[in-house]
Amino acid sequence: PAVQKLIAIGEKWKQKTIRGFPKQEGQGKGSKYILCQFPYPSGMLHIGHLRVYVISDSLNRFYKQKGYDVIHPMGWDAFGLPAENAAIERGINPAIWTRENISKMKQQMESMLANFDWDREIATCDPEYYKFTQWIFLKLFENGLAYRKEAEINWDPVDKTVLANEQVDAQGRSWRSGAIVEKKKLKQWFLGITKFAPKLRKHLTQLKDWPSNVKQMQRNWIGESLGTELIFKVTDSRFEDLVVFTTRPETLFAVQYVALALDHPVVQKYCETIPDLKEFLSKSDALPDDTKEGFHLPNINAVNPLTKEEIPIFVAPYVISGYGSAPSAVMGCPGHDSRDFEFWKQNCPGQHIKTCVTPFFDDTSKLSEKEKQELIETVPFTSTNGVLTKESGEYSGVFTGVARKSIIGKLHTENLSRNIVRYKIRDWLISRQRYWGTPIPIIHCDSCGPVPVPESDLPVRLPDIKELNTKGNPLSTIEEFVNINCPSCGSPAKRETDTMDTFIDSSWYYFRYLDPNNTSKPFDCDTASKHMPVDIYIGGVEHAILHLLYSRFIAKFLGSINAWNDPTGVFEPFKKLVTQGMVQGKTYINPDTGRFLMSDELESINDSSEGNSVIIRANGKVPIVSYEKMSKSKHNGADPNECISKHGPDATRAHILFQSPVADALNWDESKIVGIERWLQKVLVLTKNILSLKENLAISKEYKTPTDLNDAEVKFHNDVQRYLKSITESFEIHISLNTVISDYMKLTSVLEAAMRKGEVRNEMMVQNLQKLISSIYPVVPSVSEEAAEMISSQMEWNHYQWPAVEHTTESQFKKFQIVVNGRVKFMYTADKNFFKLGRDAVIETLMKLPEGRMYLMNKKIEKFVMKYNVISFLFHK
């Protein structure tokens, strides 16, 4: 019944809470842009969504109560494969499927009482939106940042489309379908993100409010290395010099070969004359990335620029191509690099390994002689710190760092070296051979080449299709779509039929929210500049690289074409980033078979020692229990709708925040929600009880905490302030929402205890009850409204205002120790300014007390001292 009440309260206040409350007048704190990552409209809100939206909605309501103009929008990342696949399965248009899902998910967001600015709602599949995705593409094209080239690409054989590098995991699998990605050569569209690599890298240091692990992931992905290009001349004059990239020029004395990437021009040239090489190349495509296969190029050697020694040249798939500006080549140093070491062992087995760097031990080294010797004998010795050996000519005995600089300098004067910064990141491949995405606004003309669609012809609409029945790109089969005249010369031409990666749609949506109805521009410059960057961005850590890197790139690009202004000049889109941890489900495994068990295969038993435990129904055994990422196959999913309908929206919201810190993984355990339900009931009962206090109930709006507090009131007042301060800071500074909930509970208990003991005056009880009810509003809005309704029926107050944290006070009273001849004889509680009465008045007052008469009467005072809380008498014996 108590739980029923919470559900009913949720229902009663649903409309009011999702609409939110009117702007708090006269506070003028400015605006706050609080954004959570928008969902893909799959049709089902899952528990991970619920977690992000509870976090962002709580912050939204908190800042509104504080008097900010909060922007808290919601929309739909609506293009993408699942819609297309679902449409193929069901034989309907993906647009219809998507729309239906959007309306279902909107309802689910409403049942969790999420308060979003629905007047800013966008869906990336709306022509009004993708018109401007296309506009951005055209601007990129205009600036040389969108181009088409033949490239070896990642092909997902299941979804039959190309993937960006960022969308292939370390095991070579598609991030979406999980299929092993194949390599193919195709003409594709790319965006020039590498041009922004230096800024994307550098500005990471300015993102003070981003989690460091996300910044580290981006740093690794961008992969800046400060290195040197060295020139190796070759002994065959038909070829140009080889340029190798190295971060370790001081290892030149131990270089034993040069290795070329498969697509190096020298390799391509040799290929024409050596059939074996051709065969090597064709089979190399299938080799894993860490392969140490090699092909020795005959009749040609490279010349070490420092020692002038001639060394062999290999073709080696482990040299990554297209990485950096020059064609890829490395100098192979088996003695100091593990990859080179493996390569050498495989291709030149048994041959000598050169070294030129040896460890250096200073006096403070803690290593034993044995350990030192072991380190000296380690091959390869890969540390960048050490000294050069006697094999290193004039550099022998010199520290690696010093030798590096000096070798670079020497070779530089001979035009054989130059310092460069190189980035690992590649340009962003955005072509997708699918229907449900933003059409690329380009027309291919035989005489003019790729011609941009004129801005006035945007959007290039996706042709309406009744049904999609094959995978692959249906646009190329629609004649009316494909055939068009060239906007430049008028002759018959063909439209581009690739659509864009959906990550482009989501790379600028936060701008569109600020000006969602603009029909002439993606967004107004002044409006965007006023509200950007987003103050708090909340989302999953799985987007650490993909979405967040793309968004940073596009925001910077839009800044570079003056689409928005940023006085700091960095054009970073997200000021503070909150990455919420994954929600994991309780998983039961049969210990014998390793099979995941469904809930109806399990049975609860009451084991008195351990509380509730679970056994497998079929065999009575105890299953293995763990928490894992929720998935259908593990039968460990939790349904947010079910939780809301069983426990009400507020308990669900508070429970999800209480279970773990926002950044940590959350092990979903619904049984623990009872603690939250009890707390919410306590709040309602407490409200009722305080309101039933008879006297002095109706406090005026101007009621201030009185100054004549007794000890109990002082403690009560100070406890309340302490928790309020902690709650405020948890929202404002730490975003520590689990502590907010525990502070709510403690605050409630403070009021409850005071109520029970009756030591605090009624007005103060009511005043601080109001503070409690206002402060819980961000997380549990319907219970807060319910309690506020009860209070407001008796007095006027604004529960939407965040309660001010008052100063803590000291007691008006103090306990004094009365000391006679060095011993404490009794205590006396008096106004803390009791001393100020002066010696005679103090003594007179004390003499009136029974204890005073007993210890102080008829004695001759030798000495009298008042200090701190001690009143000391020395009597003559």
* Contact mark string toward ligand ANZ, 249..278, x via CB under 6 A: --x---------------------------
Counting Cβ atoms within 10 Å, is residue 600 exposed (0-12), middle (13-18) or buried (19+)?
Answer: exposed
Site membership for ligand ANZ, residue 328 (CB under 6 A): yes
Site membership for Zn ion, residue 484 (CB under 5 A): no
Site membership for ligand ANZ, residue 421 (CB under 6 A): no
Q: Which of 17, 56, 246, 431 binds ligand ANZ (CB under 6 A)?
A: 246
Q: Scan residues 84-113 and list those touching ligand ANZ (CB under 6 A).
A: none
Binder of residue 488, out of Zn ion, ligand ANZ, none (CB less than 5 to 8 A by kind)? Zn ion
d(CA 74, CA 65) in angstroms, rounded, equals: 20
Binder of residue 225, out of Zn ion, ligand ANZ, none (CB less than 5 to 8 A by kind)? ligand ANZ
**Nearest CA among 251, 217, 399, 411 for reference residue 337:** 251
In the complex with Zn ion, the residue whose CB is nearer, 385 or 485, is: 485
In the complex with ligand ANZ, the residue whose CB is nearer, 335 or 441, is: 335
In the chain, the largest separation of any two C-alpha atoms, in whole Å, equals 126
Binder of residue 246, out of ligand ANZ, Zn ion, none (CB less than 5 to 8 A by kind)? ligand ANZ
Q: How many residues does the chain have?
A: 877
Binder of residue 486, out of ligand ANZ, Zn ion, none (CB less than 5 to 8 A by kind)? Zn ion
Q: Which of 311, 353, 448, 837 binds Zn ion (CB under 5 A)?
A: 448
d(CA 469, CA 795) in angstroms, rounded, equals: 65
Half-sphere exposure of 121 (CA within 13 A, CB side): 10
- Tell me the Ramachandran region of residue 449: left when phi exceeds 0, alpha when psi lies from -120 to 50, beta otherwise: left
**Nearest CA among 288, 293, 235, 295 for reference residue 264:** 295
CA 822 to chain CA centroid, nearest Å: 65
Site membership for Zn ion, residue 486 (CB under 5 A): yes
Q: Which H helix or E strand runs over 191?
A: strand 182-191
Half-sphere exposure of 249 (CA within 13 A, CB side): 30
d(CA 544, CA 542) in angstroms, rounded, equals: 6
23 contact partners, CB below 8 Å, separation of at least 6: 64, 69
Amino acid, res. 837:
L
CA 27 to chain CA centroid, nearest Å: 31
In the complex with Zn ion, the residue whose CB is nearer, 322 or 492, is: 492
Angle between helix 673-691 and helix 781-792 axes, rounded to 10 deg? 10
Site membership for ligand ANZ, residue 315 (CB under 6 A): no
- Cβ 253 to ligand ANZ, closest distance in Å? 11
In the complex with Zn ion, the residue whose CB is nearer, 488 or 749, is: 488
The residue with tokens 């008879």 is 694
* Phi, psi values for residue 311, rounded to 5°: -130, 155
Half-sphere exposure of 472 (CA within 13 A, CB side): 6
Binder of residue 201, out of Zn ion, ligand ANZ, none (CB less than 5 to 8 A by kind)? none
Site membership for ligand ANZ, residue 683 (CB under 6 A): no
Binder of residue 373, out of Zn ion, ligand ANZ, none (CB less than 5 to 8 A by kind)? none
Binder of residue 331, out of ligand ANZ, Zn ion, none (CB less than 5 to 8 A by kind)? ligand ANZ
Binder of residue 427, out of Zn ion, ligand ANZ, none (CB less than 5 to 8 A by kind)? none
Site membership for Zn ion, residue 488 (CB under 5 A): yes
- Cβ 86 to ligand ANZ, closest distance in Å? 41
The CA-based angle 655-659-662, given to 5 degrees, is 105
Q: Which of 147, 239, 323, 826 binds ligand ANZ (CB under 6 A)?
A: 323
**Nearest CA among 647, 700, 703, 698 for reference residue 676:** 647
- Cβ 445 to Zn ion, closest distance in Å? 3
The residue with tokens 């941890």 is 581
- Cβ 444 to Zn ion, closest distance in Å? 9
Counting Cβ atoms within 10 Å, is residue 628 exposed (0-12), middle (13-18) or buried (19+)?
Answer: middle
The CA-based angle 424-430-435, given to 5 degrees, is 155
d(CA 553, CA 547) in angstroms, rounded, equals: 10
201 contact partners, CB below 8 Å, separation of at least 6: 219, 222, 224, 423
Q: Which of 77, 229, 337, 713 binds ligand ANZ (CB under 6 A)?
A: 337
- Cβ 182 to ligand ANZ, closest distance in Å? 22
In the complex with Zn ion, the residue whose CB is nearer, 443 or 683, is: 443
Q: Which of 64, 148, 248, 655 binds ligand ANZ (CB under 6 A)?
A: 248
Binder of residue 590, out of ligand ANZ, Zn ion, none (CB less than 5 to 8 A by kind)? none
Site membership for ligand ANZ, residue 330 (CB under 6 A): yes
Binder of residue 630, out of Zn ion, ligand ANZ, none (CB less than 5 to 8 A by kind)? none
In the complex with Zn ion, the residue whose CB is nearer, 494 or 646, is: 494
Site membership for ligand ANZ, residue 760 (CB under 6 A): no
Site membership for Zn ion, residue 445 (CB under 5 A): yes
Site membership for ligand ANZ, residue 336 (CB under 6 A): yes
In the complex with ligand ANZ, the residue whose CB is nearer, 330 or 680, is: 330
Q: Which of 86, 319, 643, 651 binds ligand ANZ (CB under 6 A)?
A: 319
The CA-based angle 597-600-604, given to 5 degrees, is 95
Exposure b/e, 779-789, CB count within 10 A at least 16 = b = bbbbbbbbbbe
Tokens of 412: 């530089």
Q: Which stretch binds Zn ion (CB under 5 A): 79-87, 391-399, 478-486, 708-716?
A: 478-486
**Nearest CA among 744, 566, 736 for reference residue 660:** 736
Site membership for Zn ion, residue 442 (CB under 5 A): no
In the complex with Zn ion, the residue whose CB is nearer, 494 or 825, is: 494
Binder of residue 180, out of Zn ion, ligand ANZ, none (CB less than 5 to 8 A by kind)? none
Site membership for Zn ion, residue 558 (CB under 5 A): no
Site membership for ligand ANZ, residue 416 (CB under 6 A): no
- Cβ 332 to ligand ANZ, closest distance in Å? 7
Binder of residue 445, out of ligand ANZ, Zn ion, none (CB less than 5 to 8 A by kind)? Zn ion
Q: Count of H helices and E strands in the chain?
A: 27, 34
The CA-based angle 51-56-60, given to 5 degrees, is 150
Site membership for ligand ANZ, residue 304 (CB under 6 A): no
- Cβ 377 to ligand ANZ, closest distance in Å? 17
Q: Which stretch binds Zn ion (CB under 5 A): 322-330, 447-455, 529-537, 547-555?
A: 447-455
Q: Which of 2, 8, 287, 320 binds ligand ANZ (CB under 6 A)?
A: 320
- Tell me the Ramachandran region of residue 838: left when phi exceeds 0, alpha when psi lies from -120 to 50, beta otherwise: left
| Contact of 239 with 313, CB cutoff 8 Å | no
Cβ count within 10 A of residue 801: 17
Q: Which of 286, 489, 854, 865 binds Zn ion (CB under 5 A)?
A: 489
Site membership for ligand ANZ, residue 54 (CB under 6 A): no
* Contact mark string toward ligand ANZ, 611..630, x via CB under 6 A: --------------------
Q: Scan residues 216-235 and list those touching ligand ANZ (CB under 6 A).
A: 225
Binder of residue 333, out of ligand ANZ, Zn ion, none (CB less than 5 to 8 A by kind)? ligand ANZ
List residues bridging with 154 in a β-sheet: 163, 183
Q: Which stretch binds ligand ANZ (CB under 6 A): 327-335, 530-538, 695-703, 709-717?
A: 327-335
Site membership for ligand ANZ, residue 326 (CB under 6 A): no
Angle between helix 2-12 and helix 640-647 axes, rounded to 10 deg? 110
In DSSP notation, 489-529 reads T-SEEEE---EE-HHHHTTSHHHHTTSTT-SSSSS-HHHHH
| Contact of 776 with 17, CB cutoff 8 Å | no
d(CA 64, CA 31) in angstroms, rounded, equals: 9
Tokens of 586: 């309780």
Interface positions with ligand ANZ (CB under 6 A): 225, 245-248, 251, 319-320, 323, 328, 330-331, 333, 336-337
Interface positions with Zn ion (CB under 5 A): 445, 447-448, 486, 488-489
